[in-house]
Structure 1
Amino acid sequence: MWQRITDPEVAERLDRIDVPFNRYGLDPFGISRDHLGGFYSMLGFFYRRYFRCLSFGIEHIPDSGPVMLVGNHSGGLPVDGGMVIASLFFDKEPPRHTHGMVEKFAQHWPVVSPIFSRV
């Protein structure tokens, strides 16, 4: 299902991220390439069209290796974290896949929990 909604630009950028997907399309942590395609396609709409984000200083983030980006936000939905994830995927060359951290209560949300575990 997720392959059908993957934007062509997202598919091209997924081919360039430094994630070792196996022959089943899963990385060592169980993240699905197909789910990432659908996730980034949806996130791209919000990043570019709804919030219309601009990124500054992205050149200071290393192209590879570990890095920790720490944000501070209020409210229950981590929209700012999603926009940082989108920025590193859509605006950084080469694109980077990042993982977000959320409070433990998110694992109990009926709809969000399965999505967060796959992307």
Structure 2
Amino acid sequence: MAFRRYLKPRVVPQEVEQIVDALPHHNVGSQGYDPWGLNLDTAKISFTAVRWLYEHYFRVEAHGLENVPADGRLLLIGNHSGQLPMDGVMAAYAIATNPHGPRLPRTMVERWFPTVPFLGNFINQVGGVVGDPKNCGKMLEREEAIIVFPEGIRGSGKPYRLRYQLQRFGHGFMHLAMEHRTPIVPMGIVGCEETMPSVTNIKPLARMLGVPYFPLAPLVPLPAKVHICFGEPMHFPDDARDEGEVERRVERVKDAIRDLIDQGLAKRRGKF
């Protein structure tokens, strides 16, 4: 806490203060935390770095932000890639600075992230939450916007030769959308595949370190140009007769994401 108080006035510009202060904070208590650990001062410090990455390093262009509702419960479902969760960070910043209605989305993260010393608390403080259906359901009932990557590590850890090929989606997000009457906004993210292209997964080293994968990839993200395309909201009533029907609905979302990826690929003039 003392470190935050020391660091924030020295690194956070007025523009970032205004961005975060303008966001709805309906679940943040008097101590500056929400029930899942989000801390506004930590968010301001991290936003300072993210803003530079978004505007100058990855030079992100966000398309279709008018499709993201300014309030109410929401699931944002996208393709996952790039070894590090830069896709989620860039998408979250785009939504937080949305000229059609800014809001701070929460991001579902893999369960192993909080096992890394110090990393778990930091992730919570900047808006990440362990990808547990109960957590997600409670946040939806509090009208939060939540970013979910149903491919999980199958997407983030895939080799570069499989770039922009959607991997298997889990069905959990669809069950949550139906049960909690929540619209889904599909996202197609282009460029993060090129930030850390992986040749292979060094499985023995991954097992030794206790992580899902250890890619043979650049040590730092490359400055690839990123496009994020947001699609129109999709609605699914809670009337699926069986898991086969759920699977067909998941495939509809995947098809929408594929179309948005194609749009993003068509918009870019080069990988960098």
Short-chain TM bin? 0.7 to 0.9
Moved more, 44-53 or 13-22: 13-22
The yes-or-no answer on 1:7 pairing with 2:32 is no
Partner of 1:29: 36
Partner of 1:113: 120
Maintained 8 Å contact 1:16/1:94: no
Moved more, 74-83 or 108-117: 108-117
**1:15-34 C-alpha deviation (Å, 9 max, x unpaired):** 22111333322223331111
Maintained 8 Å contact 2:36/2:124: no
Q: Shift of the alpha carbon at 1:9?
A: 1.3
Q: Shift of the alpha carbon at 1:72?
A: 1.5
Please tell me whether Structure 1 or Structure 2 has the larger radius of gyration of its CA atoms: 2
Q: Structure 1 segments of 4 or more deviating over 3 A? A: none
**1:34-76 C-alpha deviation (Å, 9 max, x unpaired):** 1111111111111111100000000011000111111122343
The yes-or-no answer on 1:62 pairing with 2:90 is no
Maintained 8 Å contact 2:69/2:101: no
Moved more, 67-76 or 31-40: 67-76
**AA aligned opposite 1:88:** I
Moved more, 27-36 or 104-113: 104-113
- Structure 1, unpaired ranges of 5+: none
Moved more, 50-59 or 67-76: 67-76
CA distance in 1, matches of 2:31, 2:111: 29
**AA aligned opposite 1:51:** F
CA distance in 2, matches of 1:54, 1:40: 17
Maintained 8 Å contact 1:17/1:94: no
Maintained 8 Å contact 2:65/2:100: no
CA distance in 1, matches of 2:87, 2:64: 16
User: Where is the strand percentage greater, Structure 1 or Structure 2?
Assistant: 2
Partner of 2:91: 84
Superposition TM-score, scaled by structure 1 size? 0.87
Maintained 8 Å contact 1:10/1:41: yes
Maintained 8 Å contact 1:7/1:37: no
1:101 counterpart SS class: strand
Distance 1:99 1:76, change over 3 A: same
Task: For CA contacts below 8 A with separation 6 or more, give which structure has more relative contact order.
Answer: 1
Superposition TM-score, scaled by structure 2 size? 0.41
Distance 1:9 1:93, change over 3 A: farther
- Structure 2, unpaired ranges of 5+: 127-272
Partner of 1:17: 23
CA distance in 1, matches of 2:114, 2:34: 21
**AA aligned opposite 2:21:** D
CA distance in 2, matches of 1:22, 1:64: 19
